């Protein structure tokens, strides 16, 4: 597991960039993951889709376990776009996942599932789709480590960024100043300033980084923007 700080209420926020491997060459997954780590990625965002919760199918815990054997030290953030996420907690923990991010819309037992994830030794991420109001998060804030705001409809890579979703990020940052707020969908060096200004500190970027001719430059530049915004916000409070 990478030495990144996620989920502790007493800590200072960090700007973290997590490339999404969904739009990589999946036949070369370990090579693509290593390429992003070498370019300075703070963590890797791995999209698991079951063809039910979202209309696409990717990979499951056997692939993650193989990837972990090749990439032993990086923080793996599993984005579980699946129905019945409860059934995959133990397999993903065994595969070497560090963070298990499930969707509010996929379960009736957020608190119980969150407890099971923590007992399995992983950090808890709770995501919401664009049509879900952000206020549903409020009752679960003590149970989770990270909240994921989708800035596209989950299920496919390469979609256009939904700017109005940043109002949800602002709500979370305003009400929960020390919360790790992750954003995913259509984020690139061209819109990172907007994303950072809304209060997000964990940035998932797929197509923009995987297809970049200079991913090291882009990861560093995006992290610098987020870190500068975190520091600016500190100085005004």
Catalytic residue among 47, 50, 77, 98: 47
- Can 184 be counted among the known catalytic residues? yes
Going 118 to 121 to 123 to 126, the CA torsion angle's sign is negative
Q: Tell me which long-range contacts 189-194 makes (C-beta under 8 A, separation of at least 24).
A: 189/218, 189/221, 189/222, 191/161, 191/163, 192/221, 192/222, 192/225, 192/226, 193/225, 194/163, 194/166
Cβ atoms within 10 Å of 61's Cβ, excluding its own: 19
Radius of gyration of the chain from its Cα atoms, rounded to whole angstroms: 16
Q: Is 1 exposed, middle or buried (0-12, 13-18, 19+ CB in 10 A)?
A: middle
Catalytic residue among 42, 50, 184, 218: 184
- Can 42 be counted among the known catalytic residues? no
Calpha distance 59→80 (Å, rounded): 10
- Helix, coil or strand: residue 75: coil
118 membership: H or E segment, kind and range: helix 110-119
Active site residues per annotation = 47, 184
């Amino acid at each position: 597991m990478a030495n990144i700080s996620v989920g502790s209420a007493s800590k200072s926020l960090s700007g973290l960039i997590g490339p999404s491997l969904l739009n990589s060459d999946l036949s070369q997954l370990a090579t693509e993951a290593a390429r992003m780590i070498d370019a300075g990625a703070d963590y890797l965002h791995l999209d698991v889709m079951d063809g039910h919760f979202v209309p696409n199918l990717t990979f499951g815990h056997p692939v993650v376990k193989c990837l972990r054997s090749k990439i032993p030290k990086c923080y793996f953030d599993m984005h579980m776009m699946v129905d019945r996420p409860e059934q995959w907690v133990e397999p993903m923990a065994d595969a070497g996942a560090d963070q298990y991010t499930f969707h509010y819309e996929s379960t009736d037992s957020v608190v119980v599932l969150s407890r099971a994830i923590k007992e399995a030794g992983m950090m808890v991420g709770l995501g919401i789709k664009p049509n879900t109001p952000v206020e549903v998060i409020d009752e679960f804030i003590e149970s989770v480590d990270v909240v994921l705001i989708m800035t596209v409809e989950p299920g496919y890579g390469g979609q256009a960024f939904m700017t109005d979703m940043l109002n949800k990020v602002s709500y979370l940052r305003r009400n929960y100043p020390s919360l790790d707020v992750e954003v995913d969908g259509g984020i690139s060096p061209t819109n990172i300033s907007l994303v950072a200004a809304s209060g997000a500190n964990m940035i998932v970027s797929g197509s923009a980084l995987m297809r970049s001719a200079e991913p090291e430059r882009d990861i560093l530049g995006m992290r610098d923007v987020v870190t500068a915004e975190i520091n600016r916000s500190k100085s005004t409070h």
